[in-house]
Amino acid sequence: MDTKEDIIGFLKGDRHRHEEHEERIANLEERVLDHETRRDEDSNSVQLLRRKLDLLVRTGAMLMASNADCSRIMRNMKRCEAYLGLPEEYIHIHLGYNIIMVNLSDKTHSFSKYQRVDSHSVEFTVISKISKLLWAAIREDMSLNRYEEELEALKHVHKQYSPWMIALCAGFACGGFCVQFGCDWPAFFYASIPAILGFRLKMYLSHLHWNGYVGIAISAFVATLLCWLTTFISLNPTVSAALPAFLHSDTPYHPLMACTLFIVPGVPLINFVTDMVSDYVQVGITRAIITLMIIAAMSFGIVFAIQVCGIDNFVKDLSMTPHNTFLDYAIAAAISAMGFATIYNTPRRIMPVLALTGIIAVCTRNFVNLGPSNGNIGLDQGIIIGSFVGSAVASLIATKSQHIHHIPHQIIAIPSVIPMIPGVMMYRSLFGFIQMDGVIGELTFAFNWAIKASLTILFIALGVAIPNIFVRRLIQPKRKEKLLRLVKERHEKHHDMVDLSEIDDRHL
């Protein structure tokens, strides 16, 4: 029989074992709670990471949809990547014309995000605002919620100009082109009025969701037909005698070469060459093919209208050598630069800069291009060299102006050189191929214009790109140093730099 001391000892031991058991249960509960906490933290980290990748790819897709060149898209995505705290060494970005792809991966983790780009339209206001938004996000320590709201608002960016105002400006821009080809000022209006109506028709067909190429062909046909009707004002003696002298034009056929140039895709043309030079070959080739399709649709509408009107070989026989004064060139260049800028929804405040830069670019081009051989004042170096020098001067002005006016280089440079795009050369070439009847010299004629147009476009784009590339290389270290300093301050404050090693693979 157990003694009293044995019973007391047994009870004490049992109580001690019970306390140890309770302690083990408490430790187990603590480990489970800690495991659940880590799992929740990992889940939140993954969700946050995916949200950041989504914001990055949406930023790039919006720039591509606005027809920014690939170099600019990549620079802005790198800036966005820094703001979001994504490690640069693990980020992989692929730019496609219709899709943007981003991958974040190391040896053990991989996260990917894709975004389709369904529509493309030139929106300089969006390009400018995204650039400003990214710098503001870094400088002002912007929250992700606010950045997302600001980015989403750019999908519904306010149009700077009404549809009829855009049509009017685009029409007058075509009139400015006509003056560059050597027409007089009455012919300026005879080119502008059909272009206004043709452009408005193009906008209306787009609103009805017609096929874009069909809309271009119809608009080109209508504009050319209306322009042909204006020739009767000067060529028909009865009509000419009944109207005031200031409505008579000595160059009645010149408007036929300019009334459809509102269709020429100047921005994709320049971006195509810029992307190819910057080694974004796939996007560049896609833009080139789309540009060729637009030119082909425009040429089809023009050729069909010419056949209906019974005009014989105006494209081949009509001289394009201008003999106007440099004052005429300057006025026409300013009108064309500002006119095309409205199509691209360019901010109003930059219009005077575009007018001045356009004047300098075109007058420089004409001075280098024209000369004694064609009865003009100048260096007589030809249109290819002249276009390169003119666009390079415009690009140099834009590299300086972009810091003064806080606006991207592209928004200043491209509208300024648009008046130099050889739209007539392009559809003269296509017209030559379409109208071949087996006559000796027709193939030579078509290839001659095709080569001239291609080289002129190439040198315009190079003139825009090269000064910007060199200047950017000079200022890039300073801008990168500023960016890194701002980003470092932000991430040290919030400790929000993404670290893939902290994400547990078991919970992905």
**pLDDT 10s digits, 362-401:** 999 989 988 887 777 888 888 899 999 999 999 888 888 8
Q: Is the pLDDT of residue 26 over 80?
A: no
Q: Identify the pLDDT of residue 37.
A: 42
The token duo for 483 is 């960016």
> What's the angle, vertex CA 384, arms to CA 379 and CA 386, rounded to 5?
40
Tell me, what's the pLDDT at 42? 43
Is pLDDT of 301 > 70?
yes
Q: Chain-wide mean pLDDT for the chain?
A: 81
Predicted pLDDT of residue 81: 87
pLDDT of residue 223: 94
User: What per-residue confidence (pLDDT) applies to 486?
Assistant: 63
Kindly state the percentage of the chain with pLDDT values over 70.
79
Q: Name the most confidently modeled range: 150-159, 246-255, 282-291.
A: 282-291
Res. 130: pLDDT tops 90: yes
User: pLDDT: is 496 or 307 the higher one?
Assistant: 307
Question: Among the listed ranges 39-48, 77-86, 335-344, 448-457, which one has the minimum average pLDDT value?
Answer: 39-48
**What are 82-110's pLDDT values in tens digits?**
888 888 888 899 999 999 999 988 878 78
Determine the pLDDT at residue 507: 43
Mean of the pLDDT values across residues 56-83?
Answer: 92
**Coil, strand or helix: which one is 181?**
coil
SS (H, E, C) 341-377: HHHCCCCHHHHHHHHHHHHHHHHHHHHHHCCHHHCCC
Reported pTM: 0.80
**How many angstroms separate the CA atoms of 149 and 221, rounded?**
43
Distance of CA 119 to the CA centre of its chain: 12
DSSP per-residue codes, 388-401: HHHHHHHHHHHHHH
Q: How far apart are CA 99 and CA 77, in angstroms?
A: 14
The mean per-residue pLDDT over the stretch 181-196 comes to 91
Structure tokens at 400: 């300086």
Residue 3 pLDDT: 61
Q: What is the structure's pLDDT at 503?
A: 54
Number of alpha carbons in the 13 Å side-chain half-sphere of residue 433: 12
Q: What are phi and psi of 102, to 5 degrees?
A: -135, 135
Is the pLDDT at 347 greater than 60? The verdict is: yes
In this structure, are residues 272 and 288 in contact, taking their beta carbons and an 8 Å threshold?
yes
